Amino acid sequence: MCSALFTRRTSLLTLGGAGASLVLPGVAVAKPQVGVAAPAFNGVGSDGKPYKLADYRGKTVVLEWTNHECPYVGKHYRSGNMQALQKDAAAGGVAWLSVISSMPDSQGYVSAAQANDLSKARNATPAAVLLDSEGVIGRAYDARVTPTMAIIDAKGTLIYIGGIDSIRSTDLADVPKATPYVKDALRQHAAGQPIAHPVTQAYGCTIKYKPTA
Amino acid sequence: MASRWTAAVIVPAVATLISPAWARVESAPVVTDRTRATLVAMGDAVVPGTPVPIALRLQLKPGWHTYWRNPGDSGEPASVTLHVQGKDIKGPDVWPLPERIDAAGIISYGHHGDVALLTMLPASAAEAGSVMQIDAEATWLVCEKVCVPEKGRFVLRVPVAAGPASADARDSRKPTPPAIDTASFAKTGQSLTLRVPTAALGSADGRVVDAYFFPERGDQIDHSAPQALQSRDGEITLTMPVAQFSGPAVSALRGVLTITRERADGAPRTEAFELAAQPAAP
């Protein structure tokens, strides 16, 4: 678990120079901001086709970070919550893209064929499953856990980022009790209303990213 | 694995909590492939009129961790419900000192090893010489590379003592690190800065070369971002980015502050404090 990044950061801090102030080797990546252009991406789907955010101008896009072995993701698939949201999205002309950012040989990593089988097995109907094993799309959106959810409007502006709902648990019984942030946001956006909770706290399993060099 | 410095913090905390002196009244275990869980009364007996800490003790296999009250950027804290004399008591209330757990740069707060999560059983009017039965259910999450939700039911029968607790026994029940109540904080749209007078950091020798603040609430800071330390003019300041999902303004910022001092013998020394900071005067 002790990644190279952390070791480096710790050692630099501990060995900090002669001066009183320490310069942190923080990774200065611009974070996605609600209300401004969503980070562009250029990925490959489990169907072998290229997927670019720019291709979706004129459509609302949902990004769903997933790891089928994570118990928090399991809660939303075993309850049928995620599949229901995907169906509603498709019916409303919303493009739903599932994103798998697990690195090879880590939890949640799947080949293209396994991703397709997985969608079938769990009755998932995303428009595409993006294979992001390098973590490029995940890092661009600062996604840290599965599930993390983002919504992008027809002009390419990020309008929602955060969790799927309000109750941090793996208990299926909590799904109907939670405030369904993503469902509400999609409904409010479709109705031309402002989104009541545009930034929420995502909860779940850490995304199994390839460590940064 | 925990980094070197966090391991230094956690060892004394666990040693204090799990001492053979009190671990005598323990429930039957719930055992999984990863965890041995029990419910433990801290003390030989319940003393009428005195609150009793009841520990959910999670003995985790090497490499596995569970979560602090604020789990940081993943996971969730354990939940405990005690059923005693017709009342439901929710916990835990007291957690050990947290460690930073890093997964490719995503930071969670949690515990490895032998972990005691305390729920305070309020003072009861139990009859001296009787046996008090505590039924409990608990859920907790353990993670290594993967996460597994676990749960258990426990039954604990604790003798009710005839006399009052000795001062010694009372003192040993809630070990806490030293407190700091002279700190202040200022929060902007981007960052939160914590200012702590050097005088509050104890009298140990050595320049403070590292510090980290673990907030009790999960909606204040970006847990995965570095915290920038500066020391000058009799204080240290620690500056950290705010959480993207930023919660309401708080009247006091609570959490655990750890500092590492550079020492002449080259072995860094890490200390922990319970901190409650007030908003800085505008």
> Is the pTM higher than 0.90?
no
Query: Of B47, B228, B227, whose CA–CA distance to B123 is shortest?
Result: B47
**Mutation to test the A interface, candidates B99, B106, B191, B213, most A Cβ within 10 Å:** B106
> In chain A, which residue's Cα lies nearest the Cα of B108?
A206
The closest CB to that of A169, out of B3, B76, B106, belongs to B76
Closest approach of chain B CAs to the CA of A73, in angstroms?
Answer: 11
Q: Is B22 left (phi over 0), alpha (psi -120 to 50) or beta?
A: alpha
Mapped onto helix, strand or coil, the DSSP state of residue B39 is strand
B220 touches chain A (CB under 8 A): no
DSSP state for residue B263 in the 8-state scheme: -
Among B residues 261-280, those touching chain A with beta carbons less than 8 Å apart: 268
First to last CA, chain B: 41
Structure tokens at A32: 């996605």
Question: What is chain B's pLDDT, residue by residue, as a tens digit (282 residues)?
Answer: 334 334 334 434 443 444 444 456 899 999 999 999 999 997 777 887 788 899 999 999 999 999 999 999 999 999 999 999 899 999 999 999 999 999 999 999 999 999 999 999 887 767 788 888 999 999 999 999 899 999 999 999 988 877 665 555 554 445 578 999 999 999 998 999 999 999 999 888 888 999 999 999 999 999 999 999 999 889 999 999 998 877 788 899 999 999 999 888 888 888 999 999 999 987
Q: Is the peptide bond before B92 cis (omega within 30 degrees of 0)?
A: yes
The label of the residue with tokens 């890092």 reads A139
Interatomic CA distance for residues B247 and B267, integer angstroms: 38
CB A202 within 8 A of CB A145: yes
Q: Does the bond joining B215 to the residue before it have cis omega, within 30 degrees of 0?
A: no
Longest Cα–Cα distance of chain B, Å, equals: 59
Contacts of A162 in chain B (CB under 8 A): 245
DSSP string, B33-88: SSEEEEEEESSSSB-TTS-EEEEEEEEEPTT-EEEEEEEETS----EEEEEETTEE
> What is the gyration radius of the CA atoms in chain B, in angstroms?
20
First to last CA, chain A: 15
CB B23 within 8 A of CB B158: no
Q: Nearest-CA residue of chain B relative to A210?
A: B104
Q: Which of A22, A205, A208 sits opposite B229 (nearest CB)?
A: A22
Task: Decide if B148 touches A, using CB distance below 8 A.
Answer: yes
pLDDT at position B45 is 76
Q: Which residue has the higher pLDDT, A190 or A29?
A: A190
Strand B79-84 relative to strand B65-72, pairing: unpaired
Nearest-CA distance from B4 to chain A in Å? 9
Q: Is B191 on the interface with A (CB under 8 A)?
A: no
